[in-house]
Amino acid sequence: MSLTKTVGLFAGTTLALTGAAFGSTEADNDALQQIADLKKQVAELMEQNGQNWLTEQRATEIKGLVQDVLADADTRASLQGGGSTAGYDNGFFISSADGNFRLNINGGAQMRWTLNHRDEQTQYEQTTQWGFQSRHANVMLTGHIVDPSWKYNVSFGFWDATGDYNGGASAVPGAIDGGQATLTDWWAMKDFGGWYLKAGQFVAPFSRERLMSDYGMQFVDRSNSAYVFGLGRTQGIEAGFQGDMYRAAFAYSDDLGPDSPSQNNGFIPGVNNSPMNNIALSGRFEVKCAGTWSQFEHQQSFRGEEWGFLFGIGGAWMNGRNNYVSGSSGGGDSYDLCVDATADFGGWNLYGAFFYAGGNDYAAANSGNTDLWGFQVQGGFFINDDMEIVARYEYGDMSDLDFLGGVWDQDRQSVLTLGFNWYFAKNRAKWQTDWSYDFQGMGAFTVGGNGWYNDTATAEGQWVFRTALTVNF
């Protein structure tokens, strides 16, 4: 029985017994005994509860405190998703109250250790070299303005072509030049509900491997073929659409390939080749026969992902007006083709790509046509939920470039790569290790950032070992 009820019963009983006592003296002893018992119960309850009586004022104060705590908890929970002012949703974000303005902050970095061994020593270089590289380090600012249909991207990278944290050429080998940021992507896009129009600096639509994030790779880095045949960033406009099964992108820009700008230096001839009379067109069309678009944003097929198949074809054409030299045969056209296919089996995957690049009097030194081609096949298998073994083979032929001489004496590549990946949080945090062997001798397909060096004309058997920790948020 509660303290309040006991006191009320005690008071009522006392009055009743007192009134009855005037009419019957025989009940005095019983009444007094009941009063004594009730006094004892009240004393015990007061001892248990002390002086903490639940008054109306105290009840109001407690109710207000509970409401404040619930409101604070609701505010904290709302920070995890859309419609809030700040939080984390596949990246840190800041948003206006009405959701019409939003800034997403993403980034990542990779620290790798690379060892290279060549069959023959070249001048001033050892046959075996090793060291650390900061190949990928990025900060990406994305979001929308005015309303969610107006999207933007401003991204920076902190590396140079060799994969070092330099930000510029240095007269002293190995010197740090301050780690200047390079503007890698900047564009604005209007989404018309499936269709979109984009303008700025972006990766030209062509091959799947070049269009993917640095942090979605199945190996420590992209293949040599993806860098040599694939198209990099360019400046221009792009239009495209995405549906349930199909998506496509088409771009008009100034330049493609090695001459395309890495950052916006303004209209300075010879610096970023813009504008330099070129007309460049590139495009890509994809068919998703099974699966979801999101599962093809990375190369792996993690356990639990559904069966998926993606087929893509890319093409590009560029006139050679930028390369025209009076009195020479330069000034022709160049054209590129890429065909690739991806199959995800929920725990293992296969990927293949074929590349072709041709030219018609494109360079001033070339008096004829060029036909360059290559292909790659790769795949991975998860031995458990977090560990994957991977393999890749790529072949390329640039024998039509023999007229250039020099480093092009080694005009083919035949590279086998074996690797192992340990995923701590899928692509958010992973440790990757791979080993590559070139059966031909590296020359025309040399990608310095991947750890390769130019071989001598008679060298064979160059190999590269890489191990890297990659994180992104």
Predicted local confidence at residue 405, as pLDDT = 45
Q: If you search the block for the tokens 């009320």, which residue do you land on?
A: 8
Q: Which CATH architecture has domain 91-472?
A: Beta Barrel (2.40)
Predicted local confidence at residue 311, as pLDDT = 97
Contact 401, 392 (CB under 8 A): no
Predicted local confidence at residue 426, as pLDDT = 94
Predicted local confidence at residue 175, as pLDDT = 39
Residues near 392 by beta carbon (within 8 Å), at least 6 away in sequence: 219, 223, 376, 377, 378, 379, 415, 416, 417, 419
Predicted local confidence at residue 459, as pLDDT = 73
Helix, strand or coil for residue 29? helix
Predicted local confidence at residue 257, as pLDDT = 62
Q: Which amino acid is at 285?
A: F
**DSSP E strands, 66-211:** 86-88, 92-95, 102-117, 128-144, 150-157, 182-191, 195-203
pTM reported for the whole predicted model: 0.73
Predicted local confidence at residue 235, as pLDDT = 86
Phi, psi values for residue 11, rounded to 5°: -65, -45
Distance CA 118, CA 436 (A): 12
**Local confidence pLDDT in tens for the 473 residues of the chain:** 544 444 444 444 444 444 444 444 555 667 677 777 777 776 676 666 555 545 666 667 677 777 776 666 655 555 454 456 888 888 899 998 888 999 999 999 999 999 998 877 665 567 888 888 887 888 999 999 999 999 999 998 876 545 444 434 333 333 344 456 778 889 999 999 989 999 999 999 999 999 999 999 999 999 999 988 888 888 899 999 999 999 999 999 877 764 444 433 333 333 344 445 578 899 999 999 999 999 999 999 999 999 999 999 999 988 765 554 434 344 567 889 999 999 999 999 999 999 998 876 544 444 456 778 999 999 999 999 999 999 999 999 887 665 444 445 577 889 999 999 999 999 999 999 999 999 887 877 887 778 888 777 777 778 999 999 999 99
Domain locations in the chain as residue ranges: 1-53, 54-84, 91-472
Predicted local confidence at residue 423, as pLDDT = 97
